[in-house]
Structure 1
Amino acid sequence: MARPLLDRRTFLASGLALSASSALAASRPFRIGAIADCQYADQDDNGARMYRRAPGKLRAAVDYFNTLDLDHVVHLGDFIDKGWASFDAQQPAIDALRHPWRFVLGNHDFAVDDDKKALVAARLDMPARYYSFETHGWVFLALDGNDLSEYGWPAGSPQLALSQRLHRERFPGAPDWDGGIGETQLKWIDATLTDAGRRGLKAALYCHFPIFPANPHNLWNAAEVTDLVVRQRAAKVWINGHNHDGNYGETAGLHCVNLKGMLDTEETAYAVVDFEADHLRMTGFGRQPNLRLKLRR
């Protein structure tokens, strides 16, 4: 399959001044496609969760995206519901897209055998479980909200032991189908956003899990993550999935957009997002609503 335009955790982040041609490109509006929670599995429907229809809905969205001029298309986690073979069923839609894919990992993406958990990111051609990339004067941070989790690491691993201890001691009562962002990743987020601000870039953060408003689907350490992100003025928007009902909130000028899930609807749910100089315009399809978001300075 076509490889994305990524080969390491952070690319084009050298801190060098933009060339004249890059500066010109940075001033131009651009568009992306966005999908959350396609969540395929070869299993019967469960209430509103229509598992076997997922590949068809995904392919229809890809066919539409292919008619547009897009910088990339992001899938915001839970590409599958469970089972390593489910990735294979989604592969035709991955291959059909003529734009770069950017993937974020969700909790269901780790619903595979323990010996496959370390392979999930590579299966989706991701450079790492979290990474960044730049385009048109923006830096995008694709985060791993499963960094701390009860499901994202194999049994007996130090990562799982740490996650279980922190869940018990710091986040008692938090759902075990949510996750958190660990210290190393938090420091990376802070450093990446600091660098973006120093270089005059705007920043968008992709994650499977929401951070705001308060909701049972939020990251275990949503308050800590929110405090970090809002104090970094380069950060303009947080875009996520996980809560299939969708949501929206604004805190200290940071827009927090929860896309509706593609899985559990008779129609579909996805969006095209236009990045303009001072605002974002989200055009929703199916049950995804439209939004216009003015960017904080």
Structure 2
Amino acid sequence: MAYTNGIVSAQCKQPLLSFGVISDVQYADIPDGRSFLGVPRYYRHSILVLQRAVQKWNEQKPKFVINFGDIIDGFCPKDQSLSAIKKVIDEFNVFNGPVYHMIGNHCLYNLPREKLLQMLNIPSIDGLAYYDFSPIPEYRIVVLDGYDISAIGWPKDHEKTLKALNFLRERNPNSDKNSPNGLVGLERRFLMFNGAVGKEQLEWLDHVLQDATNSNQKVVVCCHLPLDPGAATKEALLWNYDEVMYVIHRYNCVKACLAGHDHKGGHSVDSHGIHHRVLEAALECPPGTDAFGLVNLFDDRLQLAGADRMESQEMVFSC
């Protein structure tokens, strides 16, 4: 594995915290294919990327690993969904430490969220998948549930499903709600494979950020869906990313937002100086290449040391 630049060796100071990251493994035991945009996808190879990631992390000894969702693909035959997810989880469990998961749309295409939360050991109240933890006193990690309001994953008659479907009907006139045809600009995010953060989760986030501020902690927010238009394609954004960022921008404690979902990756710095980094997908690695990384957190910056197709980057925090 080769890092794409020398930022790791360039700094002598030891990080306060290191953790592994990977996104969009989307494993399936099916032949290679392509996205709707024609980008090649390597369904069987993706689990080999994960295996190499775990091997590397066990050598590096990060404190934990975060999986940014979509561990199996929507094209996985439904009679194989359970075994495919178990196979990927078994690979994560080879890591010598905690693994924190979040759910993505492809996970929800395969299994209901209730089953996924149990299998991925995600802390949950009322079927929701948001949580936070403080691995060291200086930092707090916040994991959002981007499919809190969603047309996939909840039972068909669930109030959250009905709310999501009504939301889409009002904003996307296409019969295929995964089609952005005719939608302009940021409206192109109103697609069924995206979702939203609900009112209760927004209130929880506000409380967590207030508590982090009181505790003098810096915060890294993680979500499967990107939270800034500058870092991702418009079709990949959280439906109500603006409401989430309104809460985040009320505080100075959030230094970076990390996401998956938009496979090509991306980076931006928003109007409040917060870094947004979308992680490149393991699924789109040709055989023999990788996309995973090690995040090093310092008091004043975040370093992402990426393997192969995951671009390494240093993100210096604003004051």
Structure 1 and Structure 2 fold alike (TM over 0.5): yes
- The residue number in structure 1 matching 2:195 is 179
Deviation at 1:42, TM superposition (A): 1.9
After alignment, is 255-264 or 225-234 more displaced?
225-234
> For the structure 1 residues 290 and 197, does the alpha-carbon distance in structure 2 shift closer, same or farther, using more than 3 Å as the test?
same
CA contact (8 A) 2:71 2:107 kept: yes
1:264 to 242, 261, 284: 284
Identity of aligned residues (%): 28
Unaligned runs of 5+ in 2: 1-13, 35-39, 75-80, 174-182, 184-189
Q: Say which SS state the counterpart of residue 93 (structure 2) adopts.
A: helix
- The residue number in structure 2 matching 1:19 is none
Which aligned pairs between 1:216-255 and structure 2 lie closer than 5 A? 216-251=235-270, 252-255=272-275
Which aligned pairs between 1:98-109 and structure 2 lie closer than 5 A? 98-109=96-107
Distance 1:43 1:121 in 2: 25
- The residue number in structure 2 matching 1:76 is 68
- 1:135-154: CA deviations, max 9, x gaps? 22111111110111111212
CA contact (8 A) 1:213 1:248 kept: no
CA contact (8 A) 2:220 2:254 kept: yes
> For the structure 1 residues 170 and 230, does the alpha-carbon distance in structure 2 shift closer, same or farther, using more than 3 Å as the test?
farther
Distance 1:91 1:194 in 2: 34
Which aligned pairs between 1:64-213 and structure 2 lie closer than 5 A? 64-82=56-74, 83-113=81-111, 116-128=112-124, 129-136=129-136, 137-169=138-170, 174-213=190-229
Distance 1:227 1:188 in 2: 14
- The residue number in structure 2 matching 1:16 is none
Q: Say which SS state the counterpart of residue 100 (structure 2) adopts.
A: strand
CA contact (8 A) 1:181 1:221 kept: yes
Q: Say which SS state the counterpart of residue 133 (structure 1) adopts.
A: strand
Distance 2:85 2:281 in 1: 18
Q: Say which SS state the counterpart of residue 256 (structure 1) adopts.
A: strand
Residue type at the aligned position of 2:113: K
Distance 2:113 2:314 in 1: 38
Distance 1:296 1:133 in 2: 23
TM-score (structure 2 length as normaliser): 0.81
- The residue number in structure 2 matching 1:55 is 47
> For the structure 1 residues 201 and 170, does the alpha-carbon distance in structure 2 shift closer, same or farther, using more than 3 Å as the test?
farther
Distance 1:144 1:39 in 2: 18
Distance 2:58 2:244 in 1: 35
Distance 2:33 2:215 in 1: 48
- 1:150-185: CA deviations, max 9, x gaps? 112121112211221233336775111111111111
Residue type at the aligned position of 2:279: L
> For the structure 1 residues 242 and 226, does the alpha-carbon distance in structure 2 shift closer, same or farther, using more than 3 Å as the test?
same
CA contact (8 A) 1:171 1:220 kept: no
- The residue number in structure 1 matching 2:10 is none
Deviation at 1:257, TM superposition (A): 0.4
- 1:188-215: CA deviations, max 9, x gaps? 1111001100110111111000011252
Residue type at the aligned position of 2:97: H
1:44 to 7, 31, 34: 31
Distance 2:265 2:235 in 1: 13
- 1:237-267: CA deviations, max 9, x gaps? 1000000000111111111000000101211
Unaligned runs of 5+ in 1: 1-26
Q: Say which SS state the counterpart of residue 18 (structure 2) adopts.
A: strand
Residue type at the aligned position of 1:146: Y
Q: Say which SS state the counterpart of residue 102 (structure 1) adopts.
A: strand
Distance 1:71 1:260 in 2: 22
**1:35 and 2:36 aligned:** no
**1:279 and 2:291 aligned:** no
TM-score (structure 1 length as normaliser): 0.86
Distance 1:85 1:216 in 2: 30
Distance 2:168 2:211 in 1: 31
Q: Say which SS state the counterpart of residue 66 (structure 1) adopts.
A: helix
After alignment, is 116-125 or 279-288 more displaced?
116-125
Structure 1 ranges of 4+ moved more than 4 A? 170-173
